[in-house]
Structure 1
Amino acid sequence: MDFAFDARTEELRERLLAFMDEYVYPAEPVAAEQRARLASPWDTPAVFGELKAEARRQGLWNLFFVDEHGSPGAGQGSGPGAGLTNLQYAPLAEITGRSPHLAPMATNCAAPDTGNMELLAQFGSEEQKKQWLEPLLAGEIRSAFAMTEPEVASSDATNIETRVERSADGDAYVVTGRKWFISGAMNPDCKVFIVMGKTDPEGADPRRQQSMILVPRDTPGVEVRRAMTVYGFEDHEHGGHAEVVFDGARVPAANLIGEEGAGFAIAQARLGPGRIHHCMRLIGMAERAIELMCRRAIGRTAFGKELAAQGVVQNWIADARVTVEQLRLLVLKTAWLMDTVGNRGAHTEIQAIKIATPRAVVGILDQAVQLHGAGGVSQDFPLAELWSAARTLRLADGPDEVHQRSLAHRELKKYAGLR
């Protein structure tokens, strides 16, 4: 394994770092000021459009969208994406993770749209790609992935209760159910939901009961009921996390993604890349936390000396650096495996990074908050919001315990014959 960045990655890193310094970081306070003046907090501040236009102009657009989805030209403008491998994309996603509420959106590399675009590229029909994938790749609309439900333990996806029933005439499906924490759904630019529900609730195989279907936001029977807060944050930049009710929402049969019963497999195919993208960005969040810790430690005096001279502060910073270097290597190894042996071959490593990265980054951010005192929990620094995002990722795309359970089973299976 050679983790040295190739020339293409180095070039994009330099451009992206310059874009962050010149445009993204200065836009953070501007976005907050503009949002305070909007008619609705869910509307998009004008600075987002400016950032997206500049990212497109600089060729920093759809960096996640790799060649296997049909993006030719290795980023030379002939396809919808940059044509990068997972290993090439990893250090770029890390950079955008330093400003996770602006940079991913500015470059059209934000969840849940990235996973939805990959899902449509891999499983969508030509008509579905034309109607939904193309405008998503162009940044003209946004989307949401409706899987989690409040009434069941959604960490076990076979529990999903939403019904997707074929109409009597066979021309449509009717969707009925209640979802929540549907990321991005509060944004008025979110035009379509990818909904997971059961088409065969009594099927013998619990992993063949579910299907995926496209439900446009303006479909009668779709109600975006309320925004769910995350540790008190509404996450406006990301589009919020909504409770959505589907009350007999009728959509054409052609909106089914793939075939009936394929929903569970499609969800797993979607979530693998999503998990590594989250971990890539989390490393960027940790790097920003370390930077803020160092700046604070050097510029702050307590009990007669700089915080940087305090042994406990030095230990925090040293341990944070060691942890980030370890996590980065594991994420890069996982990206390399995904490129060389596929997502299934990297299954163990995907689970390992999903367990280790959010947990460790939460710890680093917690120490950064501590070092900043009262300021660390305030709106004057990004740390509280970064902490809430990192802590939430111990639940999103499967809680720690689900991945631990699966990973332990794979390890124990190696020794099952030794009883």
Structure 2
Amino acid sequence: MNMSFVLREENRALLERVRDMIRNEIMPLEEEYQAEINKGDRWQYTERQAEILEGLKAKAKAAGLWNFWLTDSDKGFGLTTVEYAYFAEEMGKTPLGAEVFNCSAPDTGNMEVFERYGTDKMKEQWLRPLLEGEIRSAYLMTEPDVASSDATNISMSCVRDGDDYVLNGEKWWSSGAGDPRCKVYIVMVKTGGDDLPKHKRQSMIVVPADTPGIEVLRPMEVYGHDDAPHGHMHIRFTNVRVPAENILLGEGRGFEIAQGRLGPGRIHHCMRAIGQAEMALEQMCKRALQREAFGKKLAQLGANFDIIAECRMEIEMARLLCLKAAWYMDQGDARAAAPWISQIKVVAPRVALKVIDEAVQMFGGQGVSQDTPLATAWTHVRTLRLADGPDAVHRRQVARAELKKHTQEKI
């Protein structure tokens, strides 16, 4: 089996352009952009914030650096998943990176759903403006009253009533739903009774964000941070009526759609996490060479040589595992790729957290303050150990795949 992680020559040049824009145009504006969040209404973009973000997006779009996530598609650059991994890693090095190039979660996954499963009307109404970066979207799956890591528990009521479906229930951790530009939700709902097979009871339905009966109850805080203006919202649906034509593929197809959506999304998160680890290691090394204590550079104190070396080696191992998972995805067999995606979904956040934590330690008190991006990066990556399935669920999948090699029994 020939496994290649090589970028084609034309895409190597494209990556260099992305890397250059991130370093020279996006990163210099990060601090100013973040400072704008606390001015006025945290859930609206200030004039300067919008100017920074939309200005960078316009530059990227004009330069043709746009929608890299459209792997194996004539609408994008035709990147393989392996090739996209290198781009996502670079974008992960700055909080603004993914959106500037229109490669943000949850929009990328939602766009894939609209592209694969949406009607022509949905593609015109929602996919086109998402591809253009004109609107944002949210994916509503997790619920407060059930263990949503087992998605067969999803229970939001979705009942057919004439030409409509009527939705009742609550969703939380609806990432991106706080953004004033968020115009559409893709919602996992329960349409079938307990008499159906458990993977045929759920469906996905498209819901305009301004539909009557939708109430945003609160932003969920991550370690005390509300992540405004993006937000992870707790939302209540009360007799929300949606046209029956908004259901995707038909009743009972929710799991089928979810698997098509979540696989790429999981690995994209991991690619960006490796980028965050790289930035943390870079900051750690610069700090170790600039700061002095006890008459020596920090690099020469304690076990800091070993710490830096271990971080470098673990990043390299994580990257190779991520590329291997991406390669399996490129082969087109989702079942074969699944255990590899689960492996990297556990490993990448774990490695990134370790590296970020070591960088925090190198910075001392400054590392946990607002004066470096490390504390914020840590909270985001720690959340990633829960997003798209907690570690325990992915380890279970890895173990089941391993055990199946040695038994015919159901595991």
Q: For each residue in 1:361-394, what CA deviation from the matched residue of structure 2 results, as whole angstroms up to 9, or x when unmatched?
A: 1111111111111111111100001101111010
Task: Give how far 1:19 is off.
Answer: 0.4
Which residue pairs with 1:174 in the alignment?
A: 166
Q: 1:315 aligns with which of 297, 306, 309?
A: 306
Task: Give how far 1:353 is off.
Answer: 0.4
Which residue pairs with 2:231 in the alignment?
A: 240
Task: Give how far 1:236 is off.
Answer: 2.2
Task: Give how far 1:311 is off.
Answer: 4.1
1:250 has 2:241 as partner = yes
Q: Secondary structure at the match of 1:207?
A: helix
Contact 1:42 1:186 in 2 (8 A): no
Which residue pairs with 2:4 in the alignment?
A: 2
Task: Give how far 1:11 is off.
Answer: 1.0
1:197 has 2:197 as partner = no
Q: 1:116 aligns with which of 106, 110, 116?
A: 110
Hey, what's the Cα distance between the residues in 2 that align with 1:265 and 1:388? 31
Q: 2:84 aligns with which of 84, 89, 93?
A: 89
Q: For each residue in 1:311-363, what CA deviation from the matched residue of structure 2 results, as whole angstroms up to 9, or x when unmatched?
A: 41111110010001101111111111111243322111111101111112111
Which residue pairs with 1:26 in the alignment?
A: 28
Hey, what's the Cα distance between the residues in 1 that align with 2:128 and 2:195? 35
* 1:141-160 alignment runs, 5 A limit: 141-160=135-154
Q: Secondary structure at the match of 2:198?
A: coil
Q: Is 227-236 or 340-349 further displaced after alignment?
A: 340-349
Q: 1:57 aligns with which of 51, 56, 62?
A: 62
Which residue pairs with 1:184 in the alignment?
A: 176
1:385 has 2:362 as partner = no
Write the letter of the residue equivalent to 1:25. M
Alignment gaps of 5+ in structure 2: none
Hey, what's the Cα distance between the residues in 1 that align with 2:330 and 2:409? 33
Hey, what's the Cα distance between the residues in 1 that align with 2:383 and 2:38? 25
1:293 has 2:288 as partner = no
* Distance verdict in 2 for CA 1:225–1:136, change over 3 Å: same
Task: Give how far 1:178 is off.
Answer: 0.3
Q: 2:155 aligns with which of 146, 154, 161?
A: 161
1:136 has 2:130 as partner = yes
Structure 1 vs Structure 2 CA RMSD? 1.5
Which residue pairs with 1:75 in the alignment?
A: none
Task: Give how far 1:7 is off.
Answer: 0.8
Write the letter of the residue equivalent to 1:49. E
Which residue pairs with 2:93 in the alignment?
A: 98
Task: Give how far 1:28 is off.
Answer: 0.4
Write the letter of the residue equivalent to 1:333. K
1:335 has 2:329 as partner = no
* 1:241-280 alignment runs, 5 A limit: 241-280=232-271
Q: Is 42-51 or 255-264 further displaced after alignment?
A: 42-51
Q: How many residues align?
A: 405
Task: Give how far 1:418 is off.
Answer: 9.6
Q: Secondary structure at the match of 1:165?
A: strand
Q: Is 226-235 or 208-217 further displaced after alignment?
A: 226-235
Which residue pairs with 1:229 in the alignment?
A: 221
Contact 2:42 2:228 in 1 (8 A): no
Hey, what's the Cα distance between the residues in 1 that align with 2:215 and 2:391? 31
Hey, what's the Cα distance between the residues in 1 that align with 2:379 and 2:37? 20
1:364 has 2:355 as partner = yes
Contact 2:148 2:154 in 1 (8 A): yes
Contact 2:43 2:180 in 1 (8 A): no
Contact 1:175 1:248 in 2 (8 A): yes
Task: Give how far 1:222 is off.
Answer: 0.7
Contact 1:276 1:354 in 2 (8 A): yes
Q: For each residue in 1:172-229, what CA deviation from the matched residue of structure 2 results, as whole angstroms up to 9, or x when unmatched?
A: 1011110101000000100011010100132331110000001101100011121111
Write the letter of the residue equivalent to 2:309. A
Write the letter of the residue equivalent to 1:34. E
Q: Secondary structure at the match of 1:5?
A: coil
Q: What TM-score comes out, normalization by structure 1 length?
A: 0.94
Hey, what's the Cα distance between the residues in 2 that align with 1:373 and 1:330? 31
